[in-house]
Structure 1
Amino acid sequence: MSRLRLPPGPPAIPVIGHLHLISNYPHHSFWELSKRYGPLIFVRFGSVPVIVASSPDTARQILQKHDQIFSWRPRTAVTSYLYEGRNILFSQPGPYHKLIRQVAFSRLSGNKRLESFRPIISSEIRQLLSNISHASNNVSVRGKLYESTFSIISAIVIGKSTKNISFRSPKAFNIGDYFPFLATLDLQGYAQRSKAVSQILKVIFGEIFNERRNDRENRDDKMQDEDFLDALMTVSSNQKEVPITDTHLKGILTVRIICL
């Protein structure tokens, strides 16, 4: 078998690959490497091969011209349990991924839809400024901003502001994702914690979905989608080629409003 024609890259260390070259600010590390090895670099994170594009032209080649080749999504411990491979970011290319992208773009990103969100955003910003200005003690602006952002997104996605279901997914390095022979050991406990959070979310979203279905049955205007969840349920009921189950809905909404 002929040797793969890989982009240039620095010498690797057995087992760990190039992880020793990546600092707490990976983009800085990649920029430094690009100055020596060029705009397209091959590195290996443990057992995971990685191609780094560090210029607009190489990124354009990957994302536009060769997007079908590079569009496969890697599965990690956290994403496998929290999203179950059902959301836009981590679902694999195919009819389901294409459908969800179309729904998300048309129901969340269009100019008309963005304009309709203005009252929600304005109201939450006014409430945020009022809370900060009337705070008697020192207030965590970062925390308040997080709460306001969460409220805005949840109102847009599920039609109501919710502050009591916020979970932040772990963003730290999980050793099992890069060394598969260690994955079953779950040395850092990420898989166990992700399973626990996933079970909680199933209960919370299950209640939201049942409440919404009852509301849709009793709604006078059954053709009007009020938010993103409505749009997903309408698409699910109108076509059978690409099933959208509650598990799919949970995965899609988790990444939208839970893990900010």
Structure 2
Amino acid sequence: MISQIPFILFITFITLSFSFFLSMKLKRKNIMKTRRLPPGPRKLPIIGNLHQLGNLPHRSLQNLSKAYGDLMFLQLGSIPALVVSSPNMAQEIFKNHDLIFSGRPPLYAIKRFTYDLSSISSAPYGDYWREVRKIVVLELMTVKRVQSFANIRAEEVALMIDRIKSSGRSAVDLSSLEFSLSNNIVSRVALGTTNCIDRGKNNRFQEILHEIQQLAGEFNLADFFPGMDWINKFNGVDKRMKKYFEDLDTFFDKVIEEHVDPRRSKSDEEDIIDVLLRIQKDPFQTIKLKDEHLKGVLVDVFVAGTDTSAATIV
């Protein structure tokens, strides 16, 4: 009799788990029925419409939109999604319903690398986002400040042209050169130095940025099944993220320490970290900015300022 107790407990656990799963499934199904959702393809249990994305999701979405319309509903794992496929529908959503769609999904890698969604591109709409956006618009991206960095841009472009000339008849990797150009410009603008960048070489800092972009763009099961984020502990994703996040954080800590050092020689023009540190000390700030918030803004500056700019130029 006693030996049967573990078996009975096991059967009871399985029965209760199945009953709970079934009740939640039926409840979710009833909720979905009461909603007026846009048309979309039939979905499979558990994975939804993930199997219909294929190796080229943009092509698959284009083909599906031709069949189901400019506004289409997809179930991506446990995540409901709307696919917008026309300029008119995009204008309707982002102009007339902008507050409803103002947020972005907290993707697994993005949340980690933006210091728990502290960057302006990932922060949820609210007081913090409005305050950081105001700082970026009024302090970092003004016409006067952008123009003040014209000499830096001219110097770096001239150096890149010299490197191309020195290559003679040899083949030139423009993608690598443009990435280095963008990286050098952003580094001088943000940090006031080029010491962190080994000109023209794929140095450690560029490797960190590249790996962050790779991890942020890779398929991650936790983005579609948030309850299965534990799997990243076994497939190597968490290990890679921890490694490159610590490297990035160490780099940011170093440059912040250099900027608060009273012995540091200051130039006439403030760099971006100077501006952020000045605002951080302002007692009249609506939201008290921590170092993690500053680092989140710097992630936007470096990742968006280097990769996006280089891709646009090429």
Same fold (TM over 0.5): yes
Q: TM-score range, shorter-chain basis?
A: 0.7 to 0.9
Task: Please list the CA deviations of residues 201-226 of structure 1 after superposition, one character each: whole Å capped at 9, or x if unmatched.
Answer: 2221111111112259975x9xx861
1:150 counterpart = 2:183: yes
- Answer whether contact 1:81 1:191 (CA < 8 A) is retained: no
Q: TM-score, normalized by length of structure 1?
A: 0.88
Matches within 5 A, 1:28-43: 28-43=59-74
Matches within 5 A, 1:110-129: 110-129=142-161
- Answer whether contact 1:91 1:97 (CA < 8 A) is retained: yes
1:183 matched residue in structure 2: 229
1:70 counterpart = 2:114: no
Of residues 163, 173, 185 in structure 2, which corresponds to 1:140? 173
- Answer whether contact 1:82 1:195 (CA < 8 A) is retained: no
Structure 1 CA distance for aligned equivalents of residues 185 and 94 of structure 2: 30
Task: Please list the CA deviations of residues 42-97 of structure 1 after superposition, one character each: whole Å capped at 9, or x if unmatched.
Answer: 11211111111111222122222212212233222211221121101111111111
Structure 1 CA distance for aligned equivalents of residues 142 and 180 of structure 2: 25
1:92 counterpart = 2:124: yes
Instruction: Report the 3-state secondary structure (helix = DSSP H, G, I; strand = E; otherwise coil) of the residue aligned with 1:10.
Output: coil
Instruction: Report the 3-state secondary structure (helix = DSSP H, G, I; strand = E; otherwise coil) of the residue aligned with 1:49.
Output: strand
Structure 2 CA distance for aligned equivalents of residues 216 and 251 of structure 1: 26
1:47 matched residue in structure 2: 78
Of residues 288, 292, 301 in structure 2, which corresponds to 1:243? 288
- Answer whether contact 1:132 1:139 (CA < 8 A) is retained: yes
Structure 2 CA distance for aligned equivalents of residues 69 and 188 of structure 1: 35
In terms of mean alpha carbon deviation, does 80-89 or 129-138 score higher? 129-138
1:192 counterpart = 2:239: yes
2:299 matched residue in structure 1: 254
- Aligned residue pair count: 257
1:109 matched residue in structure 2: 141
1:3 matched residue in structure 2: 34
Structure 1 CA distance for aligned equivalents of residues 189 and 265 of structure 2: 21
- Once the two structures are aligned, what percentage of the paired residues are identical? 30
| Deviation >4 Å, runs of 4+ | 215-219
Say which one has the larger Rg: 2
Structure 1 CA distance for aligned equivalents of residues 263 and 105 of structure 2: 36
RMSD: 2.4
In terms of mean alpha carbon deviation, does 91-100 or 180-189 score higher? 180-189
- Answer whether contact 1:17 1:44 (CA < 8 A) is retained: yes
Instruction: Report the 3-state secondary structure (helix = DSSP H, G, I; strand = E; otherwise coil) of the residue aligned with 2:103.
Output: coil
2:219 matched residue in structure 1: 173
Q: TM-score, normalized by length of structure 2?
A: 0.74
Q: Which amino acid aligns with 1:4?
A: R
Structure 2 CA distance for aligned equivalents of residues 41 and 26 of structure 1: 14
Of residues 253, 257, 260 in structure 2, which corresponds to 1:210? 257
In the alignment, structure 1 segments of 5+ residues that lack a partner are none
In the alignment, structure 2 segments of 5+ residues that lack a partner are 1-30, 198-203, 308-314
